[in-house]
Amino acid sequence: MAFKKLVKTLLPAVALLALLAGCGGSTSETNQAQPRDVKVRTTVARLESVPRTVQATGGLEADKSVMVSTRMMGWVRKISVTEGQAVQKGDPLLSIDASDLKAKKAQAEAGIVEAKAVLANAERMAERFQRLYAEKSVSKQQLDDVLTGRDRAAAGVKMAEAGLREVNVHLSYLDIVAPVSGVVARKMVEEGDMANPGMPLITLEDAGRMKVVAYLGEKDISRVQAGDMVQVQITSLDGATFRVPLDRVIQSANPGSRTYDIEAFIPNTDGRLKSGMFARVTVPVGTREAITVPRAALVQRGQLTGVWTVDSHDIVHLRWIRPGHELDDRVEVLSGLQGDETLVLTSEAPLAEGDKAVR
């Protein structure tokens, strides 16, 4: 009796467990993804010669930079520009006090008046003595002395006029104008400062085109030459990557660093590039063998990069790789491929592991 009672008690529980197990198996079979036929375009990973590159660091400079100074000493009376202001050739930049030179100009003008009066008197005297000499009233020596005095008076007028021109030239140095069109990059004086001959006052830059100067090690300098294409990246700006030819390769090393300057020019039509910005230059210095795949074949899953490979039975498998340098429309593969795999380039539908590629 006790055994039958125990069986009756356990029987419903066993039946319930069997039912749950059966439902679980049915759900698993229903959710399991079935392989599909997906139409794809394929390509092949290839082993090829690619440029061997080195990184050179440097900075940006303006294509043209002019240091404006003066030839005269004086107080800075007025500054007409501010840093960052665009100026055209001939625009006023600053003025230096001209009080002393204006006084000298007045003296020179008075000297001209005096010299002309002396000359007029000497010419009248010369005419009188020429008549007297013709009448035999004065000697030849007396006439020569008067004519010499007239010539000296004429030279005195020319000297006075030259003195005035000199003063005017000096005055022109006091009103300083822009020698070229550009942007005021730096202002080294303020109103009231004393300006001295040769002292830098304002720096103008033509920022329409920037020059990048980078520094290459002595091991690689013999492998590059003007005209080689390099990649310049301005790390502080988004999307500021340029592919430009080298303009110059300086063949003399910098004494301190033992590096060599290489120079290239970058367009700056939008004005984003500024002098002093850090630049990283990728320089080709030969070739090497590398496995490459088209950029379009890459698959991104979070921080991971992979490619869909197609095996001999046209089944696709996702293989993770470690990408390297970008080479135009291809990408170097550092690990994960051998160089002869068939890869999916594009597919008409999202792929899953085990799908069949239809080409």
Neighbouring residues of 112: CB distance < 8 A, sequence distance ≥ 6: 157, 160, 161, 164
Q: Which helix (H) or strand (E) holds 106?
A: helix 99-134
Q: What angle do CA 227, 231, 235 make, to 5 degrees?
A: 145
Residue 355 three-state SS: coil
Phi, psi at 11, each rounded to 5°: -60, -45
How far is CA 286 from each of CA 194, 213, 221, 224, 351, rounded to the nearest angstrom?
Answer: 56, 21, 12, 9, 39
Alpha-carbon span 69 to 189, nearest angstrom: 11
Q: Show contacts of 241-244: CB within 8 Å, 24+ apart.
A: 242/266, 242/267
Lowest mean pLDDT among 24-38, 136-150, 159-173: 24-38
Q: Which two tokens stand for residue 296?
A: 């379009």
Over pLDDT 90: what percentage of the chain?
45
For each of the domains in the chain, give its residue range(s) and CATH number, in order of start.
Answer: 37-50+290-357 (2.40.420.20), 55-63+208-288 (2.40.30.170), 98-173 (1.10.287.470)
pLDDT in tens, 297-325: 999 999 999 999 999 999 999 999 999 98
pLDDT in tens, 80-139: 999 888 888 889 999 988 888 888 888 888 999 999 999 999 999 999 999 888 888 888
User: Among all chains, which residue has been given the structure tokens 């070739």?
Assistant: 287
To 10 degrees, what angle do helices 140-172 and 99-134 make?
160
User: Is this model's pTM higher than 0.85 or not?
Assistant: no
Residue 162 three-state SS: helix
pLDDT in tens, 256-306: 888 999 999 998 888 888 888 999 999 988 888 999 999 999 999 999 999
pLDDT at 196 over 60: yes
Neighbouring residues of 84: CB distance < 8 A, sequence distance ≥ 6: 183, 184
Alpha-carbon span 66 to 62, nearest angstrom: 10
Q: Which two tokens stand for residue 38?
A: 């997906």
Torsion of CA 215, 219, 220, 225, to 10 degrees: 90
pLDDT at 29 over 70: no
Predicted confidence band at 18 (pLDDT cuts at 50, 70, 90)? Answer: very low
pLDDT in tens, 338-352: 988 999 999 999 999
Lowest mean pLDDT among 18-27, 31-40, 103-112, 247-256: 18-27
How far is CA 136 from each of CA 123, 128, 141, 144, 335, rounded to the nearest angstrom?
Answer: 20, 12, 12, 14, 118
Rounded to 5, what percent of the chain is helix, strand, coil?
A: 30, 40, 30
Predicted confidence band at 33 (pLDDT cuts at 50, 70, 90)? Answer: low
